[in-house]
Amino acid sequence: MTTRINPSILAADFANFESELGRIRTADLVHVDIMDNHFVPNLTFGLPMVERLQQVSPIPLDVHLMIDDPDRWAPGYAEVGAFSVTFHAEAATDAVALARTLRQIGARAGIALKPGTPIEPYLDLLPEFDQVLVMTVEPGFGGQSFMESTMPKLRTLADAVQKQGLDVWLQVDGGVTIDTIGIAAEAGANTFVAGSAVFTGDPTAQIALLRAAADKHSHAH
Ligand SMILES: O=C(CO)[C@H](O)[C@H](O)COP(=O)(O)O
């Protein structure tokens, strides 16, 4: 199983953003947090910024929409060339139709679940998605503590993906560190978003440590 480490640029230095991108060359994808101060109590940026990031980033963008009304907004992120676009289950009106639209445009379609949102209603819909993001903190801010209470949900999801013979990436986001990444890998995650753990310190070294810790606990080993 491939381990993917996706630095969340929420923790990066935006004043020097292009050089920050140079510091994460060994990352698999750049995780871009879009927050609207409605779905979550924090505000980042929107489509024009992502369009610009798309032009300057040598690493494909993994866009995470923490916004209301993704049915309206998500396709635009796919249209500017994002590699993957993940929207929240709690915010979407028609998650399957939206995922189909994203795929038609050419992006990978992702669905994200807040810690309190159950996975069961989505298990039969897994073929409609390329990735599922299990939030391991309440979305909105970096630097929070990993919620181990979300691991049973991840295990249920990983079992379903395996039983259905699907290639759906299982992503975790929030509080992912050298100490916690193994717990998520053990529960079945293969795609890891990390902000503070990457940008606090030397990103190349941190990415290597995170990758090694995940690989040690991943199901392939
Ligand atoms: O979307 C997020 C929280 O809503 C971020 O991706 C999260 O900020 C990751 O940061 P950290 O690794 O510091 O927890």
pLDDT of residue 109: 99
Distance 131 CA to ligand 1 centre (A): 17
Q: Identify the residue whose C-alpha is closest to ligand 1 atom 5.
A: 142
Q: What is the ipTM of this complex?
A: 0.96
Per residue of the chain (221 residues), give pLDDT as tens. Answer: 699 999 999 889 888 888 899 999 999 999 999 999 999 999 999 999 999 999 999 999 999 999 999 999 999 999 999 999 999 999 999 999 999 999 999 999 999 999 999 999 999 999 999 999 999 999 999 999 999 999 999 999 999 999 999 999 999 999 999 999 999 999 999 999 999 999 998 999 999 999 999 999 997 54
Entry pTM: 0.97
Extract the annotated binding site.
8, 31, 33, 64, 140-143, 173-175, 195-196
CA 150, chain centre distance (Å): 15
d(CA 59, CA 22): 10
Pocket lined around ligand 1, Cβ cut-off 6 Å: 8, 10-11, 31, 33, 64, 137, 139-144, 173-176, 193-197
Residues with a known catalytic role? 33, 173
Show the domains of the chain with their CATH numbers: 4-217 (3.20.20.70)
Distance 30 CA to ligand 1 centre (A): 12
Distance 67 CA to ligand 1 centre (A): 15
Ligand 1 atom at minimal distance to the Cα of residue 42: 4
pLDDT of residue 17: 85
Extract the annotated binding site for substrate.
8, 64, 140-143, 173-175, 195-196
Dihedrals phi, psi of 42, to nearest 5 degrees: -155, 160
Distance 143 CA to ligand 1 centre (A): 6
